[in-house]
A and B are shown apart, each in its own frame.
Chain A
Amino acid sequence: MNLFEHLGRYLSLMRLVFRKPEKASIYHKQVLIEMESLGLDSMGIVAIVSVFMGAVVTIQMAFNVDTPLIPMYTIGYATKQSVILEFSPTIISLILAGKVGSRIASEIGTMRVTEQIDALEIMGINSSTYLIFPKIIASLFINPVLIVFSMFLALLGGYAISAITGLVAPHDYLYGIRAFFEMFDVIYALIKTVVFAFIIASVSGYHGYYTKGGALEVGKSSTQAVVHSSIAIIFFNLILTQILLA
């Protein structure tokens, strides 16, 4: 299938996904379950990646600002800007595309090849709404939380590395990350996060839902889910940045 066929089928699936749910109470419960399995279960990896990323960015900034002409707090400031504008929203979303995306695609794909989706349809349930809608809603709520959590930990990682290595004095670092704070930077990051969250859940749901065949194809769909959602994230990152910052 080429890109346009995928796109057409994706859009018509999204129309089905956003139909009126059968019973609100079931969906509320489903959203909570998904928040736990898509969000809480990702906390660990997000935390590890963020702390190390923050530390590395700080070292790199210190390496670049190796001249007495520039004040040391610039290191903290530059670290904060990179973390908030790009590292947390984009890199963590890419990691979530790998972790959450493959999980969604393989879960729904397995249900497809074992006829569980047909069983839902026979009961008169909108299977696409039932399976994909709660995952999208849960991601839209939980991913921003994960990203803010990541920003915080990345800056903490930077602080820890400055305290350990002395590349920058901790109080300069702290001054830097608080200097020239723009609320809009965080809003920009959260807008990106929400768009990426939608991409991850819907593209992966799409690939899972249209799995055909058996276990082998489930693996293929989950790979495709990760590849396609990552590409879409990179692409929308450019578009959104151009629109919001330029």
Chain B
Amino acid sequence: MIEAQNISKSFGEHKVLNDVTIRFEKGRTNLIIGQSGSGKTVLMKCLVGLLNVDKGKVLYDDRVFSAMSFREMKSIRKEIGMLFQGGALFDSKTVQENVIFPLSMFTQQSHEEKVERANFCLSRVNLENVNHLMPAELSGGMKKRVAIARAISMNPRYLFCDEPNSGLDPKTSNVIDNLIKELTEEFDMTTVVNTHDMNSVMEIGDKVAYIYKGELWWVGSKDEILHSDNPELNDFVFTSELTQRLKDR
């Protein structure tokens, strides 16, 4: 379980997050949705400590992350897997080297064991025979999937995904969503996913938090989201013709 308590974050004069308090449950996929620029990525980076919060605190299973020493923070980081919005693959390393990198750094496994683990993680994201390609030789969606494979290679307890399916076709996108959900349940992880894709919300949204202009505007499940009467949320959810018709029925 991860908890954010009253966190605020500004860049200079620009207030990006304002007093956000939220709990992300263990064994469930927790979604953060909101318009582009609403502060989803900033919120996620505050949760993992890549950005320092101005106010408030972040807790990992009752361990106060924001008050930790550098060393304690590092030990929690080893339990975190994160998928960045841009993939953030190491571009001087091959796909396989990317996936086994955390293993080489923190485990004593033999090369064969690491390669086996890499192959397993890559097969989970439907990638085969790409082990020796460089990131520059992959398509956008493939990069994203390699990044997911890298994020899960250490069996994390906490998984963060910043827009896992932007730039993917609907089918692959669906595979990724379900993979995230499966892994979450299988390994009892606490998973936080940023998205603005309503398909993902309906597919895997155990708990959905809607961020509006840096504030936590609405929290509920994927079923509640269709029947909410929050105008800003409805505005966000029912923008397309298709969803509008669903609502009207």
Hey, which bits of chain B sit against chain A, CB under 8 A? 45, 48, 50, 74-78, 80-82, 84-86, 88-91, 101-102, 104-106, 154
Contact = CB atoms under 8 A, between A and B. Distances in A.
A67 to B, nearest CB: 58
Interface in A15-30: 22-23, 26
Interface string A76-113: 00000000000000000000000000000000001100
Contacts of A125: 105
Contact of A118 (B50, B74, B102): B50
B105 A123 contact: yes
B107 to A, nearest CB: 10
Nearest to A113: B86
Contacts of A23: 104-106
26 contacts: A23-B105, A23-B106, A111-B90, A114-B86, A114-B88, A114-B91, A115-B86, A116-B90, A118-B45, A118-B50, A118-B84, A119-B84, A119-B88, A122-B50, A122-B77, A122-B81, A122-B82, A123-B77, A123-B78, A123-B101, A123-B102, A123-B105, A123-B106, A124-B74, A124-B75, A124-B77
Contact of B82 (A110, A116, A119): A119
Contacts of B105: 22-23, 26, 123, 125
Contacts of A36: none
Contacts of B78: 123-124
Interface of A: 22-23, 26, 110-111, 114-116, 118-119, 121-126
B102 A115 contact: no
Contacts of B154: 123
A122 B51 CA distance: 12
A61 B76 CA distance: 65
B66 to A, nearest CB: 15
Contacts of B81: 122
B106 A124 contact: yes
A34 to B, nearest CB: 12
Nearest to A29: B104
CB-based closest 8 A-B pairs: A124-B77, A115-B88, A119-B88, A124-B78, A124-B74, A122-B82, A115-B84, A123-B102
Given A115-B88, A124-B77, 19 more contacts: A22-B105, A22-B106, A23-B106, A26-B105, A110-B91, A115-B86, A116-B89, A116-B90, A116-B91, A118-B84, A119-B88, A121-B77, A122-B48, A122-B82, A123-B77, A123-B101, A123-B154, A124-B106, A126-B74
Nearest to B85: A115
Nearest to A16: B70
Nearest to A23: B105
A24 to B, nearest CB: 12
A124 B77 CA distance: 5
Contacts of A114: 86, 88, 91
B91 A121 contact: no
Nearest to A107: B92
